[in-house]
């Protein structure tokens, strides 16, 4: 198969997939090495960008998928019968942020961090398939641990969890480090105010 | 409803506390507990008057603040305060400061996620997303908004109206359900949509009406037609499945 044809096939594969299609899967189907597929994909994605099309190919959840262009969104909204989900509630998204950055994490730990009960937020997030159970913690009561799902990545347009926006000095707050953390935080405050 | 909006601003006691601290440009590391407690309780009073459900978590924080206040009033033990780290751990405000700093980061993380979310809500995946679900999902419920009772009610009305009419003789009709089904289907195909009453209009015998009714039920069961009632007690509309989807 020549490269022009391969490129067309890759386009068709992405179009036909209901889920983001993985580089590995494409390479296996087209029988071309992943490196070449990646190059062809890059070409293809650039084509859509340059041609100012209403659709684009996006790399999401470790795969590739067709998406509409953001500028088209007001018109697409008109097409919809029911208004699109306006997004998660502030409480749900705050809970989700904790799970995303601290996973796997138990409910009680989330509650300690937020200072409120998170029962209903957890239920909503599990229901929307944004978080899932990730075994149990070896602690009294063996509480359920939660982690984010692949749907979470798709929902936020991320490829991997390490693409989450960086929050400085978050993880691993030991006693020794804490003082440092506190100081930076105080400095930051000074700058803001 | 003003209070609802006000409550939504604060996602919990830490959020409120952080707000009070930031508003007064207070150093998290050196919180004037008496002042904050006072402000916090003031706010709590407002919430308490308005919405009892959310108060629980806020009360715990108020208790914590007062506990800290009490501890600060007690004379410090001599053994403490030898090193700076010890002093920090001895300070009853330490734990609260730590929590607040953690919470500040959560807020930061939340803001990033909200930004990502709003970007993502601008674009629609080709399929598999909410968009596809919403547009294509109508696995056309063949008896939308209707129960068997609605159909029976309609049938009863027809029997009643039909039998009050004057007519001479009733020619014996031997029509099978199958035949009737084909007739109804043909009628709908010609007219596009047909009302329940129309289907029964020409029928004069009880057995004929029953046959016809069974034919309608059978067509619904086989999903060859769909029935739809626009409003309570309005005449039931029969149409072909795709016709319904187009007209909506």
Beta-sheet strand order (sheet of A131-136): A105-106, A144-148, A131-136
| Claim to verify: residue B153 and residue B133 sit in the same structural domain | no
> pLDDT tens-digit profile of A65-90?
999 999 998 888 888 766 666 788 88
Average pLDDT, chain A: 84
- Positive or negative: CA dihedral A19, A20, A22, A27: positive
Domain boundary among B98, B117, B139: B139
In a domain, B100, yes or no: yes
Domain termination site, one of B120, B139, B158: B139
- Residue B1 and residue B19 in one domain: yes
pLDDT, tens digit (0-9, with 9 covering 90-100), for B140-183? 555 666 777 777 778 778 777 766 656 566 666 577 888 888 88
The answer to the question of residue B235 being in a domain is yes
Q: Are residues B14 and B127 in the same domain?
A: yes
Please tell me the predicted confidence (pLDDT) of residue B137: 39
Find the mean pLDDT for residues B6-15: 71
A117 and B57: CB-CB below 8 Å?
yes
- Among the residue ranges A41-50, A108-117, A163-172, B139-148, the one predicted with the least confidence is B139-148
Instruction: Single out the residue of B49, B104, B39 nearest to residue A97, CA to CA.
Output: B104
Q: Which of A69, A93, A175 sits opposite B110 (nearest CB)?
A: A93
CA distance B98 to A115: 13
Same domain, B168 and B70: no
Strand, coil or helix: what is A89?
Answer: coil
Q: Could you tell me if B133 and B153 lie in one domain?
A: no
What are the pLDDT digits (tens) for B76-121? 665 555 555 555 557 788 888 988 999 999 999 999 999 999 999 8
State whether B235 and B163 are in the same domain: yes
Residue A17 CB coordination number (10 Å): 19
Residues 197-236 of B with CB under 8 A from A: none
Q: At residue A107, does pLDDT exceed 90?
A: yes
Interface of B with A in 26-55 (CB under 8 A): 27-29
Judge if A3-78 and A90-189 fold alike in CATH terms: yes
**Predicted pLDDT of residue A125:** 94
Q: What is the per-residue pLDDT for B106?
A: 92
Q: Testing the interface with A: which of B109, B119, B121 to mutate, by most A Cβ within 10 A?
A: B109
The answer on B128 and B17 residing in a single domain is yes
Give the nearest chain A residue to B14 (CA atoms): A115
Q: At what angle do helices B55-73 and B94-120 cross, to 10 degrees?
A: 150
Indicate whether B182 belongs to any domain: yes
Say if residue B121 is in the same domain as residue B60: yes
Structural domain for B223, as ranges: 148-245
CB contact under 8 A, B28 and A182: yes
B105 and B164 assigned to the same domain: no
Is there a domain that residue B80 lies in? no
Straight-line distance from the first to the last Cα atom of chain B, in angstroms, rounded to the nearest whole number: 35
Rounded mean pLDDT of chain B?
Answer: 76
For residues B156 and B134, membership in a common domain is answered with no
Contact: A70, B119; criterion CB under 8 Å: yes
Kindly indicate the confidence band of residue A113, based on its pLDDT and cuts at 50, 70 and 90. Answer: very high
Give residue B138's pLDDT band: very low, low, confident or very high (50, 70, 90): very low
Alpha carbon distance B189, B87 (integer Å): 88
Domain of residue B185, CATH code = 1.10.10.580
Q: How many CA atoms lie within 13 A of B182 on its CB side?
A: 4
Cβ separation of B102 and A113 shorter than 8 Å? yes
B38/B53 Cα distance (integer angstroms)? 22
Other CB atoms within a 10 A radius of the CB of residue B77 amount to: 8
Residues B113 and B132 placed together within one structural domain of the fold: yes
Asked whether residue B82 is assigned to any structural domain, the reply reads no
Going by pLDDT thresholds of 50, 70 and 90, the confidence category of residue A101 is very high
Q: What are the sequence ranges of the domains in chain A? A: 3-78, 90-189
Q: What distance in Å separates the CA atoms of residue B208 and residue B175, rounded to the nearest whole number?
A: 7
User: What pLDDT sits at residue B142?
Assistant: 57
Over residues B181-194, the mean pLDDT reads 86
> Is the confidence at residue B19, as pLDDT, over 60?
yes
User: According to the model, what pLDDT value does residue B134 have?
Assistant: 40
Tell me whether residue B98 is exposed, middle or buried, using C-beta atoms within 10 angstroms of its C-beta: 0 to 12, 13 to 18, 19 or more.
Answer: middle
| pLDDT of A35 | 95
pLDDT of amino acid B12 = 82
Give the H or E element holding residue B36.
Answer: helix B33-50
Q: Which residues contact B169 (CB under 8 A, 6 or more apart)?
A: none
pLDDT of residue B171: 62
Hey, what are A164's tokens? 């989450």
In this model, does residue B5 exceed pLDDT 70? no
Locate the chain A residue with the closest alpha carbon to B25: A193
Residue B81 lies in a domain: no
Percent of chain B with pLDDT over 70: 71
Supply the pLDDT for residue A177: 32
Q: Is residue A183's pLDDT more than 50? A: no
Contacts of A96 (CB under 8 A, 6+ apart): A88, A121, A125, A130, A131, A148, A152, B113
Distance CA B37, CA B41 (A): 6
CA distances in angstroms from A10 to A6, A157, B126, listed in the order given: 6, 21, 15
Q: How many structural domains comprise chain B? A: 2
Output the pLDDT for position B75: 74
Please tell me the CATH code under which domain A90-189 is placed: 1.10.10.10
Q: Which residues contact B209 (CB under 8 A, 6 or more apart)?
A: B155, B158, B159, B162, B200, B203
- A125-165 pLDDT per residue, tens: 999 999 999 999 988 889 999 999 999 999 999 999 988 98
Architecture of domain A3-78 in CATH? Answer: Orthogonal Bundle (1.10)
pLDDT digits (tens, 9 = 90+) for A16-42: 888 899 999 999 999 999 999 999 999
Q: Which of A127-136, A172-181, B124-133, B211-220 has the lowest mean pLDDT?
A: A172-181
Same domain, B69 and B152: no
DSSP strand pairing (B226-228 vs B143-144): parallel
Higher pLDDT, A168 or A103: A103
Is it the case that residue B225 has pLDDT exceeding 50?
yes
Q: What is the pLDDT of residue B6?
A: 42
pLDDT of residue B144: 63
Percentage of chain A beyond pLDDT 90 is 60
B79, part of any domain:
no
Instruction: Classify the complex by whether its ipTM is higher than 0.90, answering yes or no.
Output: no
pLDDT tens, position by position, B47-84: 766 665 667 778 888 888 888 888 888 876 655 555 55
């Amino acid at each position: 198969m020549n490269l022009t044809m391969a490129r067309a096939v890759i386009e068709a594969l992405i179009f036909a997939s209901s889920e983001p299609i993985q580089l590995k899967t494409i390479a296996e189907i087209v029988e071309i090495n992943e490196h070449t597929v990646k190059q062809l994909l890059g070409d293809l994605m650039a084509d859509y960008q340059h041609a100012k099309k209403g659709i684009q190919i996006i790399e999401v959840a470790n795969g590739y998928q067709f998406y509409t262009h953001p500028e088209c969104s007001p018109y697409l909204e008109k097409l919809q019968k029911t208004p699109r989900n306006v997004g998660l509630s502030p409480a749900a998204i705050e809970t989700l942020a904790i799970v995303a950055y601290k996973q796997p994490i138990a409910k009680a730990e989330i509650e300690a961090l937020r200072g409120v009960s998170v029962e209903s937020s957890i239920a909503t997030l599990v229901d929307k398939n944004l978080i899932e159970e990730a075994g149990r913690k070896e602690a009294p009561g063996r509480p359920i641990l939660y982690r984010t799902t692949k749907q979470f990545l798709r929902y936020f347009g991320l490829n991997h969890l390490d693409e989450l926006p960086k929050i400085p000095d978050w993880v691993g707050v030991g006693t020794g480090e804490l003082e440092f953390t506190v100081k930076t935080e105080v400095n930051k405050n000074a700058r803001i105010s | 409803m003003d209070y609802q909006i006000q409550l939504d601003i604060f996602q919990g006691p830490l959020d409120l506390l952080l707000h009070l601290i930031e508003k007064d440009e207070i150093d998290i590391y050196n919180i004037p507990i008496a002042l904050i407690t006072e402000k916090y309780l003031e706010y709590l009073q407002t919430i308490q008057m308005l919405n009892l459900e959310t108060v629980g978590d806020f009360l715990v924080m108020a208790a914590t603040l007062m506990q800290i206040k009490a501890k600060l009033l007690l004379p410090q033990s001599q053994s403490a305060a030898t090193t700076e780290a010890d002093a920090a751990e001895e300070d009853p405000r330490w734990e609260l400061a730590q929590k607040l700093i953690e919470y500040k980061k959560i807020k930061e993380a939340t803001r990033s996620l909200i930004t990502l979310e709003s970007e993502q809500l601008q674009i629609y995946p080709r399929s598999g997303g909410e968009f596809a679900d919403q547009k294509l999902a109508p696995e056309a419920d063949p008896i939308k908004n209707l129960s068997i009772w609605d159909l029976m009610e309609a049938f009863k009305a027809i029997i009643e109206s039909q039998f009050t009419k004057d007519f001479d003789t009733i020619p014996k009709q031997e029509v099978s359900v199958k035949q009737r089904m084909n007739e109804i289907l043909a009628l709908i195909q010609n007219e596009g949509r047909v009302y329940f009453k129309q289907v029964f209009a020409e029928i004069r015998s009880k057995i004929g009406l029953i046959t016809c009714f069974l034919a309608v039920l059978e067509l619904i069961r086989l999903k060859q037609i769909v029935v739809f009632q626009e409003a309570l007690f309005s005449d039931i509309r029969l149409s072909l499945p795709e016709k319904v989807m187009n007209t909506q």
